[in-house]
Amino acid sequence: MHVTSSRVGGGSHAAAVDAKDFGSGVRMITANCGVGATNPKAIYIRPFCIDTATFTGDEAQTDGEMPIRKALTPVEFADDLKEQLEKIAPARILRPNESPRLGWLVDGEFQLVDGGSPAGRYFLGQFGVGRSILALHVRVTDVKSGIVVYEFDMAGGSKLQGRLGTVRASGLGRATHFDLQNAAERVYLTLSANPYRYGARANVSLPE
């Protein structure tokens, strides 16, 4: 899964247009000098809206079961998100009649959930045939201020995966479950300052 576009605290990301600009690349204009929100006291997850999403591919045993699988996809993703975002702060899934009072609210919308074709992945998966696709929009709101602090689109799927699959891909299994797990992990990685602990040192100070 990859973040395809994003917005931070009301400012848009855009490429620099002048080579003399320092750090040309991503530029932001925001109300707080571009400093990102972090360290929420709690994270609340509202199951993502899926009623307008395209839901297709290998998702159920029969067409009659498809509406049920579609209705349960936001529930599954909310559980996956809770597991990942608890690494940042205590996380809880909201019930329909509940509203948070502090911390972050994470919600959004599914745009496309396509389970692809296991048969296609078996025969020509290395060429992208039968691949699964997941596309969604994620919104992170500071509950106290009501400001959307982060907002981004995500897309991904099984891509050129073959019949065998991997730890992160289904092979001949049902791909959407893997895609939802991967998407939840990408949300956590996107909202974390340094999730891989790059640059962490065992010694107190560096030698001169």
Q: For residue 112, what are the β-bridge partners?
A: 54, 135
DSSP letter (8 states) at residue 49: B
Structure confidence at residue 59 as a pLDDT band (50, 70, 90): confident
Tens of pLDDT, residue by residue over 122-167, are: 655 566 567 889 999 999 999 999 999 999 999 998 876 755 655 5
With contact defined as beta carbons under 8 Å apart, do 107 and 81 qualify? no
The first and second tokens of residue 150, run together, are 């982060």
* CA 189-127-174 angle, 5° bins: 55
Residue 14 pLDDT: 40
Amino acid type, 47:
P
Does this model's pTM top 0.75? My answer is yes
Q: Using alpha carbons, select from 147, 145, 136 the residue that is nearest to residue 187.
A: 136
DSSP letter (8 states) at residue 48: P
Q: List C-alpha distances in Å: 139 to 48, 73, 92, 182.
A: 10, 18, 16, 17
Give me the DSSP letters along the chain. -EEEEEEETTEE-EE-S-TTSTT-SEE---TTTTPPP---S-EEEPPPB-TTSEEESS-SSSGGGHHHHHHHHHHHHHHHHHHHHTTTS-EEEPPTT----SSEEEEEEEEEEE---HHHHHHHGGGTTT--EEEEEEEEEETTT--EEEEEEEEEE-TT--SS--SSS-TTS-HHHHHHHHHHHHHHHHH-SSTT-TT--SSSS---
| CATH architecture of the region 2-191 | 3-Layer(aba) Sandwich (3.40)
Q: Indicate if the pLDDT at residue 183 is higher than 90.
A: yes
Residue 33 pLDDT: 75
Q: For residue 134, what are the β-bridge partners?
A: 113, 156
Give 67 or 161, the one with higher predicted confidence.
67
